[in-house]
Amino acid sequence: MFAGNAHRINMTTISSTADLEEGMAVLIALDPIWEQIIARTGIPPLRRRESGFLSLASIIVSQQLSVASARAVWARVESVLSPLTPERVLAASDEEMRLSGLSRPKQKTLRAVAAAIVEDQLNLAALEAATPEFVHEHMTAVSGIGPWTADVYLLFCLGHRDGFAAGDLAVQEAAKVAFNLPVRPKPAELAALAEAWRPWRGVAARLLWAYYAALKSREGINA
């Protein structure tokens, strides 16, 4: 699966506040609307985490859960399946998986990811210097990993500066308000809009998440 070097790039990552500031300056130069967005958000959170199975598992666990619920379930998963490794997940009984608090679909996805890693069908280390397109292709080939999970891993675990999350509802809603769009854009529509933000779509995504949070926190706004 990794034959050849066509999928490899010299990837520039977002790993510091300075990286965020550089990207913000480029976005403002591209479109003055970003200056208005940044006036509301300030420097967005970096939100970097280590790459690897633990982080991918955490993303899977937290999907479609509130922050508080995700933390509670993650604590149970780490406790019941300690040490949390692909091998431990594959060895877990159905009862252990139930006690972990994971829904049936997430149990299935976590097992599929663990099996793919053990069988070397999912090589997370090889994604460190891969193109966003290859990361998507490689990760979504695993049952249960969808575009959103691949996007979040690309953005926050690999730190790719041009990662994006066109399928995230918060990013879509923030873009609708910030760019005065008539309706919330669909993933393909938002991806098309974001083409102009290359190669700093990773900063754009962080700013839109922060902008959505600002909208939610302002009284009277139903974002």
What are φ and ψ of residue 219, in 5° steps? -60, 135
> What proportion of the chain, given as a percentage, has pLDDT over 70?
93
- Smallest CA-to-CA distance from 161 within 43, 13, 4, 10 is with 13
Highest mean pLDDT among 5-9, 124-128, 192-196, 219-223: 192-196
Confidence of residue 11 (pLDDT cuts 50, 70, 90): low
pLDDT value at residue 145? 95
The mean pLDDT value for 201-215 works out to 96
Q: For the whole model, what pTM was predicted?
A: 0.87
Q: What average pLDDT is seen over the chain? A: 91
- Go through the domains of the chain in sequence order and give each one's CATH number: 24-46+164-217 (1.10.1670.40), 53-151 (1.10.340.30)
Containing H/E element for 89?
helix 86-91
Element holding 218 (H helix, E strand)? none
199 contacts 160 by C-beta, under 8 angstroms: no
Instruction: List, in sequence order, every residue forming a beta bridge with 130; answer none if it has no partner.
Output: 8
